[in-house]
Chains A and B, each alone.
Chain A
Amino acid sequence: MRIKLNGRDAEIKDGTTVAALLRGMKADPKSALVELNLKVLARAGWKRTALRNGDAVEVFSFVTGG
């Protein structure tokens, strides 16, 4: 199925959870932030949230900056 990941089309397996998506991206789960369809998805929900076709996912993390 197809989702929008950070604004770009991405092909993922059916039933992929947010947690699995983050693992695939090599995003540190302790510090990543996730928006699902423009709403913040709390860390507690990552394992139980399976993505659906057409979902828009944004993954952020803190980086250095002034």
Chain B
Amino acid sequence: MEDVFKIAGRKIRSRFMLGTGKFPSDGSMAEAIKASGAHIVTVALRRVDSGAGSGNLLSHIPAGRIVMPNTSGARNAAEAVRIARLARAAGAGDWIKIEAIPDNRHLLPDNLETIKATEVLAREGFVVMPYFNPDLADARRLRDAGAASLMPLGAPIGTNKGVTTRELIKVLVSELDLPVVVDAGLGRPSHAAEAMELGAAAVLVNTAVAVSGDPSGMAEAFALAVKAGRKAWLAGAGAARELAEASSPLTGFLR
């Protein structure tokens, strides 16, 4: 049976989403996007420094991708909503990843503000993907507010620590019908595979790919790990046991 992945009714070609930050060059970013097979890639929005100018980032993103702006830099719902509206007015489409982050040290999101922004933007027709601290009650509030998916963090942004929230991710996967996209903190392909084995619908990675010695190679490694983890989830992993259980016959060889 074909394993179709949909968000907001739209078929998404890859369960691996890639952020565009921190790459050594626009060229290496473009190569990594191709190698990743990612269908959804994220971008951010910033003020242009007078005189320093601005380039055209979107021209470097290979064709056929959904470009999903994030609201990074927003500290609350009002700022996130403003960024989302601006991005859409600029022709970036309806997809928006909400980040409402008042804390610069840990970069942990504010769930309350995230829920408020989700409510406003979903009503305005955005496909809202909220980045949040994995919490069951808040996940239900996000669903009720109209979120198209849930983006719980695996670990704080850029920390490469892996799925430190694994028990909470499992709860979200089992309790909600929305796609769970584990975002942030995944430092290695094995982390991505772990998230998928837990039943995540997809993962979003940026730092681990962008700052590796070979971003394209790492993008491909993550893509393979995501596929492996997904297949393992669909196949159903055996439960862990305390004691050994022989996989060969237990009768003696010569008796």
Contact = CB atoms under 8 A, between A and B. Distances in A.
Interface of A: 5-7, 10, 24-28, 30-33, 35, 40, 42, 58-66
B137 interface: no
Contacts of B118: none
Given A42-B89, A66-B20, A60 B51 contact: no
Interface of B: 19-23, 29, 42-59, 69-70, 72, 85-87, 89-90, 92, 157, 184, 204, 206-207
Contacts of B47: 6-7, 58-60
23 contacts: A6-B48, A6-B50, A10-B50, A24-B50, A26-B52, A28-B54, A28-B55, A28-B56, A33-B87, A40-B86, A59-B48, A60-B90, A61-B57, A62-B90, A62-B92, A63-B44, A63-B57, A64-B22, A64-B43, A65-B21, A65-B43, A65-B72, A66-B207
The list of the 3 closest CB pairs from A to B, nearest first, reads A66-B19, A65-B44, A26-B53
Contacts of A59: 47-48
A62 B44 contact: yes
A31 B55 contact: yes
Contact of B69 (A7, A25, A62): A62
B54 A65 contact: no
Contacts, number: 107
A4 B70 CA distance: 26
A64 B86 contact: no
B21 A5 contact: no
B21 A64 contact: yes
Nearest to A65: B44
Contacts of A25: 48-51, 53
Contacts of B48: 6, 25, 27, 32, 59-61
Q: Tell me which of B46, B48, B56, B69 has the highest count of chain A C-beta atoms within 10 A of its own C-beta.
A: B48
A46 to B, nearest CB: 13
Contacts of A60: 45-48, 86, 90
A64 to B, nearest CB: 4
Contacts of B21: 64-66
Given A63-B45, A66-B157, A35 B86 contact: yes
